[in-house]
Amino acid sequence: MYSKFRFNGFSNETLSSIANSAKKALKDFEFSSFLVGCTFPNSISDDGKQLLRKEFQPLLVKKLEKELNAMADFENPDIELIVNFDQDVLFIQVKPFFIGGRYKKFSRKITQTRHYCFECKGRGCKKCNYSGIITPESVQSLIEKHALPLFECREAKFHGAGREDKDVRMLGSGRRFVLELVEPKKRSVDLKALEEEINSVEGKKIEVSGLRKCSKKEIPLLKAGKNNKVYEVVVLCEKEIDVEKALRLQELTLIVKQRTPLRVVSRRSDKVRERKAKILSVEILSQKKAMFRIEAEAGLYVKEFVSGDNDRTNPCLSVLLENKCNCTELDVIEIKES
């Protein structure tokens, strides 16, 4: 966003013109802090610029604080203003609002984030029914549906601390995420009320907790975390399960050599990784069905640890049980946050 102001020397008139211009451009936006910077014309000497920074800029800050009824903030401003004295233009950037929290996902039919159509890259085509989207519902969209109207913004970005497959439920205490609301008009939103609204309307599919204002700095921390996870896996075997053999696997810790699974190898580099897996417990559900609780090191592909993925994962439950195994249901029940 930008707006013009009237330059009349480095004077009070210019200060007023800049403040009025900012006020007008921001009239629909709620904010309590701002950061302002100046770019001066090259025709002014370095010493001259230095002097303006020392003497004129503090006056500008003061004027804006008064006129915008907001505080100057260098760390985490709601608004960033650049006053360009070359073109007499004020550039205005409304900073995003970040909500931190956790989500649980109870449905095996929704993805974590919105996936755009591969064909048209979101522009809309026949294949995606001109919606641009191939995931009608996602954790992201279910949260946005309630958050966007309250913040009066059109767009948000979803940042998760890792992700689970669409058909995997996310249970336990949930997974951390940050929702980045782009150019919000409102900021004083009751996040507790938002949380209650999401949970009461979308509670069959997702649940959010601990919603709070957070800073952008949390996003790289979310992404950097390599957390072990505890899974519950329902395993279906081809033949009747050797119960004794299955129960002997309890508390076994394995070093799993895993070559990039066939189902993702087209998108990721094909290599062998080693990950730890510990079988915490085994529960026999029927002759051919058992539930395994597995603690897996970050990065282990659990479905392939069950099946073996055509010998690409070793050891695997198929080999350990001498019985062809497949994962039919998978839940994340705990993310071990270090």
Measuring CA to CA, which residue among 129, 109, 108 is closest to residue 120? 129
Verify whether residue 270 is a known catalytic residue.
no
Nearest approach in angstroms of CB 135 to Zn ion is 12
Comparing CB distances to Zn ion, the nearer of 126 and 217 is 126
In whole angstroms, what is the distance from residue 144 CA to residue 159 CA? 13
With the CA atoms of 46, 48, 49 and 51 taken in that order, what torsion angle do they form, in degrees rounded to the nearest 10?
120
Mark 34-48 as b/e (b = at least 16 C-beta within 10 Å).
bbbebebeeeeeeee
Q: Which stretch binds Zn ion (CB under 5 A): 11-19, 121-129, 184-192, 293-301?
A: 121-129
Number of residues that bind Zn ion (CB under 5 A): 6
Comparing CB distances to Zn ion, the nearer of 52 and 120 is 120
Q: Which stretch binds Zn ion (CB under 5 A): 99-107, 123-131, 282-290, 323-331?
A: 123-131
User: Is residue 125 near Zn ion by the rule CB under 5 A?
Assistant: yes
State the sign of the Cα–Cα–Cα–Cα dihedral 257, 262, 264, 268: positive
Comparing CB distances to Zn ion, the nearer of 125 and 298 is 125
Residue 74 three-state SS: coil
List 59, 61, 120, 249, residue binding Zn ion (CB under 5 A): 120
With the CA atoms of 95, 67, 61 and 21 taken in that order, what torsion angle do they form, in degrees rounded to the nearest 10?
70
Query: Residues 165, 190, 311, 331: which is the catalytic one?
Result: 165
Contact string (CB under 5 A) for Zn ion, positions 126-165, x = contact: -xx-------------------------------------
DSSP type of residue 100 = E
Q: Which residue is nearest to Zn ion (CB)?
A: 117
Q: Identity (one letter) of the amino acid at 305?
A: F
User: Is residue 119 near Zn ion by the rule CB under 5 A?
Assistant: yes
Comparing CB distances to Zn ion, the nearer of 125 and 291 is 125
The interface with Zn ion within residues 89-108 (CB under 5 A) comprises none
Nearest approach in angstroms of CB 102 to Zn ion is 32
Residue 294 three-state SS: strand
List 70, 90, 110, 117, residue binding Zn ion (CB under 5 A): 117
Q: Which stretch binds Zn ion (CB under 5 A): 111-119, 160-168, 172-180, 291-299?
A: 111-119
The interface with Zn ion within residues 305-334 (CB under 5 A) comprises none
Mark 86-117 as b/e (b = at least 16 C-beta within 10 Å).
eebbbbbebbbbbbbbbbbbebeebbbbbebb
Comparing CB distances to Zn ion, the nearer of 120 and 249 is 120
Nearest approach in angstroms of CB 133 to Zn ion is 8
Q: Which stretch binds Zn ion (CB under 5 A): 114-122, 142-150, 224-232, 309-317?
A: 114-122
In whole angstroms, what is the distance from residue 304 CA to residue 165 CA? 13
In whole angstroms, what is the distance from residue 156 CA to residue 184 CA? 9
Q: Which stretch binds Zn ion (CB under 5 A): 125-133, 167-175, 219-227, 309-317?
A: 125-133
Mark 73-85 as b/e (b = at least 16 C-beta within 10 Å).
eeeebbbebebbb
Comparing CB distances to Zn ion, the nearer of 111 and 228 is 111
Nearest approach in angstroms of CB 98 to Zn ion is 30
Comparing CB distances to Zn ion, the nearer of 44 and 125 is 125
Q: Which residues contact 188 (CB under 8 A, 6 or more apart)?
A: 30
User: Is residue 35 near Zn ion by the rule CB under 5 A?
Assistant: no
Peptide bond into 41 cis (omega under 30): no
Residue 145 three-state SS: helix
Catalytic residue annotation: 165
Interface residues with Zn ion (CB under 5 A)? 117, 119-120, 125, 127-128
